[in-house]
Structure 1
Amino acid sequence: MSVQSYIDKVMKSTMQSTPGQTEFYQAVEEVLGTLEPILLAEPKYDNYNILERIVIPERQILFRVVWMDDAGKIQTNIGYRVQFNSAIGPYKGGLRFHPSVNLGIIKFLGFEQIFKNSLTGLSIGGGKGGSNFDPKGKSDGEIMRFCQSFMIELSKHIGETRDVPAGDIGVGGREIGYMFGEYKRLTGNFEGILTGKGVNWGGSLTRTEATGFGSVYFAENVLNKQDDSLKGKIATVSGSGNVAIYTIQKLYDMGATPVTCSDSRGMIYDKNGIDLDSLKLIKEINRQSIDEYCLIHKHATYLPVHSYPEGTNAVWAVPCDVAFPSATQNELNLEDIKNLHKNGCKLVCEGANMPSTPEAIDYMQANGIMYAPGKAANAGGVATSQLEMSQNASMQKWTFAEVDDKLRSIMKSIFDLSYDTSKEFEDEGNLMKGANIAGFRKVADSMIDQGAV
């Protein structure tokens, strides 16, 4: 059987055994589709059945989450934790609270996490979790009661050397705090079983900023390879959560001008550059919709989602040099990348997980647009989570500058590894292929070393 036939066989088997998990299929196909060179060079991966094993989680946990709303009515949600691969360390990956969450999305995120965590060079395996609970519109009391109920079940499956969740969409410092407090109440132990904790009780400085900062550091490395930099560049950014906010902040630090941000209701275009203080006030303190920005900055343009041209995201219609999709999966499609290309974009750097559709990626690669895939470019968050774990284990606390220096170094190492691996397999500069092969090789070799587990 040819290598491509082998890959096709695994892909077909995956789809047959896990019906209806579209996002998961997309993530698996994106990785497996780049592995042919290493499978040809190293027959041991076929001999040890690695592909069949790596696409199946080691453990899938689904559970009921029952909580009481402010009106005294009982509410029910579904909780998930997919512990995907522990070949190189304890499971590590965020918790997502959003109504779109289902098993297929959690599996796609967990599968991506395997290779992202491998690329960091740190001892962390891949996992992901969450719930279809929607924090929007809920009171602090409702969110606390939900988080406490969620942790009652999750606490049975996590631990410092077993599984250490973090935050993701819908899960920030407030939610981590409520879950950590419940874990401590249940077990009586003060342990580093979550990352993204408050800095007063075991959290790491720079953790909040890490994914956004890391994405910008990665983009700078991509441009430096072309004897260029972010200085003077116009950047478009989607999203307005932690990743987008701190992408915007670091872009300013690097001399670029970010001119957009967005949320689920619409987008802001500010040709003078997004005002960071206003954005933080609206999203981090007041937890309001992004349209509030135009009440402060009347020169800025707000476009609600329903006004976008059908099948496009208005963020990507703004002229720019570099684009940072930093919101959610599949937010940048073929029409969007054509708009970016027409308007002069030279680099797409993914701050979110799988934000570009396969068609958009194909277009970038066919038309010379530099592409920094999320599993490499947004690995700064999980890398800094592991640095938080290290600080907890050693009972130390590093300064902001110390953690930021480590983060910058890790992102440089991830870029170098991805680029060098692409060159090794005769596709120099294809960072998607380089990142996938490099991440896969470390995990697969570790699985072989540990036998039939």
Structure 2
Amino acid sequence: MATLEKILDPKLEAAKGYVDDVFNMVQLRNPNESEFHQAVKEVFDSLIPVLAKHPSYIEHGILERMVEPERVINFQVPWVDDQGKVHVNRGFRVQFNSAIGPYKGGLRFHPSVNASIVKFLGFEQIFKNSLTGQPIGGGKGGSDFDPKGKSDREVMRFTQSFMSELCKHIGPDIDVPAGDIGVGAREIGYMFGQYKKIRGHFEAGVLTGKGFSYGGSLGRKEATGYGTVYFVEEMLKDRGLSFKDKTVVVSGSGNVSIYAIEKATKLGAKVVACSDSSGYIYDTDGINLSTVKRLKEVENKRISEYVKEHPKTQFIEGCSAIWSIPCDIALPCATQNEIDDIAARTLISNGVIAVGEGANMPCTLEAIEIFLENDILFGPAKAVNAGGVAVSALEMAQNSMRLSWTFDEVDQELHQIMKDIYRNSMNAADEYDTPGNLVVGANIAGFKKVADAMISQGVI
């Protein structure tokens, strides 16, 4: 990206002017939506050489059309807690782009959810879904509801209220939501049950991430974490490296983190740290995954409880300092903007060789630039964490065929998809004179497929 500043090619200058104009429009139309602005800026900067080489994208107003969601749905979600008190949360669904297939993207239940976050996630989802090679468009949704500390009955009442409105806007060939932060098998199950009751028939393909007993796919829970490691494995291979004997730090301790830890460990790495919102654990002997799984997946406890069973481990309150731990490979799998420029420089000074974004936009734009300038292997989120939505698409395929594939079949498909995403991103970076820059490559590879479909379908 930085090399463009040194080039005075008139076509590049015209493309840059177009990108700047559209980005300024985005900022004016969407004030106070910093996460959305950040996501758009990161993609736009990558597309300048594509727009210079293919001015038809400018002529067809592709960027203007792509940054404006096809539909934004906001709704109230009233529900009653176990004490009989009425609460009202906000519900969101952004149906961003359907050029290559029905809208597809997760639902996030977290107090931080707002219009900006849902739009940034939905915008990223356009390119992520395109990269998978599956026929799925981009969407995202959720609510500022916090499932932590709520009883099963409270979660059920909330999700039933949420689905009572959302059901009007989704369907197997319209919009297929899935889980995200705060939305796991429990929440998906309650929503599916409510959808089935309202619609009056069993429609397996309306949601993904379902339980295996009613149309879910084996391997879905593991997919994002496994896919993250599969992608980073390909980055390492191109440098003649592997996970074997490498020290790894993984932020978070949800599904993505747990299964990234599991796969990295199987490939010979030693994962020494993980976290939750209260802080992080540092185990120099290597994280005991069975303990983390039990604490987080079964007992729903804080990661600090790990120390009671592994007393040599350190627990440090607060999450940001996890990136001060020396490691060869960093896998940020928690939340957006957790690695800033300071954390990036600390990782580099401590010898990091590769960073793979398992979460959505966990690195700031400044941090990404620092990694690229220092020749650190860097895998961007829309490519690295695409494994989850890829297996969601495989779940849709199984639902359409009324079949269930084995875990090994799904895992093999996932592994190949991640290899293809890596190679396609590398090829796009090479084609547009930014060899090895996977940020640029992933953005271009994802963009061109969607943009070409939009042109083919006319202005609609």
- TM class by shorter-chain length? over 0.9
Q: State the 1:189 CA deviation.
A: 1.7
Q: State the 1:87 CA deviation.
A: 0.2
1:429 correspondence with 2:436: yes
- Residue 382 of structure 1: which of 383, 389, 404 is its match? 389
Alpha-carbon contact 2:15-2:49 (below 8 Å) kept: no
- Partner amino acid, structure 2, of 1:189: H
- Write the distance in 2 (CA, Å) between the matches of 1:140 and 1:291: 24
- Residue 299 of structure 1: which of 312, 316, 322 is its match? 312
- Write the distance in 1 (CA, Å) between the matches of 2:435 and 2:21: 28
Give 2:217's aligned residue.
204
Give 2:134's aligned residue.
122
Deviations 1:376-407 (A, max 9, x none): 00000000000000000000000000000000
Deviations 1:311-349 (A, max 9, x none): xx1111111100000000000011111111111100000
- Residue 82 of structure 2: which of 50, 60, 70 is its match? 70
Deviations 1:252-300 (A, max 9, x none): 1111111111011100011111111100111111111110000111111
Give 2:175's aligned residue.
163
Give 1:314's aligned residue.
321
The 5 A counterparts of 1:84-163 are: 84-163=96-175
Please give the secondary structure, in 1, of the residue aligned with 2:281: strand
Give 2:288's aligned residue.
275
- Write the distance in 2 (CA, Å) between the matches of 1:285 and 1:302: 21
- Residue 453 of structure 2: which of 442, 446, 450 is its match? 446
- Write the distance in 2 (CA, Å) between the matches of 1:438 and 1:220: 20
TM-score (norm 2): 0.97
Q: State the 1:48 CA deviation.
A: 0.3
- Write the distance in 1 (CA, Å) between the matches of 2:274 and 2:200: 42
- Residue 28 of structure 1: which of 26, 40, 44 is its match? 40
Q: State the 1:228 CA deviation.
A: 1.2
Please give the secondary structure, in 1, of the residue aligned with 2:169: coil
Segments ≥4 residues shifted beyond 2 Å: none
- Write the distance in 2 (CA, Å) between the matches of 1:284 and 1:188: 32
Give 1:327's aligned residue.
334
- Write the distance in 1 (CA, Å) between the matches of 2:355 and 2:404: 35
Please give the secondary structure, in 2, of the residue aligned with 1:260: strand
Q: State the 1:190 CA deviation.
A: 1.2
- Partner amino acid, structure 2, of 1:272: D
- Write the distance in 2 (CA, Å) between the matches of 1:442 and 1:78: 33
- Residue 418 of structure 1: which of 420, 425, 430 is its match? 425
1:217 correspondence with 2:239: no
Q: State the 1:425 CA deviation.
A: 0.7
- Write the distance in 1 (CA, Å) between the matches of 2:15 and 2:435: 22
- Write the distance in 2 (CA, Å) between the matches of 1:136 and 1:255: 34
- Partner amino acid, structure 2, of 1:190: F
Give 1:181's aligned residue.
193
With 400-409 and 252-261 compared, the bigger mean Cα shift is at 252-261
Give 2:273's aligned residue.
260
1:396 correspondence with 2:396: no
Alpha-carbon contact 2:14-2:52 (below 8 Å) kept: no
- Partner amino acid, structure 2, of 1:59: R
How large is the Cα RMSD of the aligned pairs?
A: 0.7
1:38 correspondence with 2:39: no
- Write the distance in 1 (CA, Å) between the matches of 2:188 and 2:41: 33
Residues paired across the two proteins, number: 447
Q: Which structure 1 residue ranges, 5 or more long, are not aligned?
A: none
Q: Which structure 2 residue ranges, 5 or more long, are not aligned?
A: 1-12
- Write the distance in 2 (CA, Å) between the matches of 1:183 and 1:292: 37
Q: State the 1:19 CA deviation.
A: 1.1
Give 1:50's aligned residue.
62
- Write the distance in 2 (CA, Å) between the matches of 1:181 and 1:297: 40
TM-score (norm 1): 0.98
Deviations 1:105-164 (A, max 9, x none): 000000000000000011000000000001111111100100000000000000001000
Please give the secondary structure, in 1, of the residue aligned with 2:221: coil
Percent identity over paired residues: 57
- Partner amino acid, structure 1, of 2:137: G
Please give the secondary structure, in 1, of the residue aligned with 2:18: helix
Give 2:344's aligned residue.
337
Q: State the 1:37 CA deviation.
A: 0.6
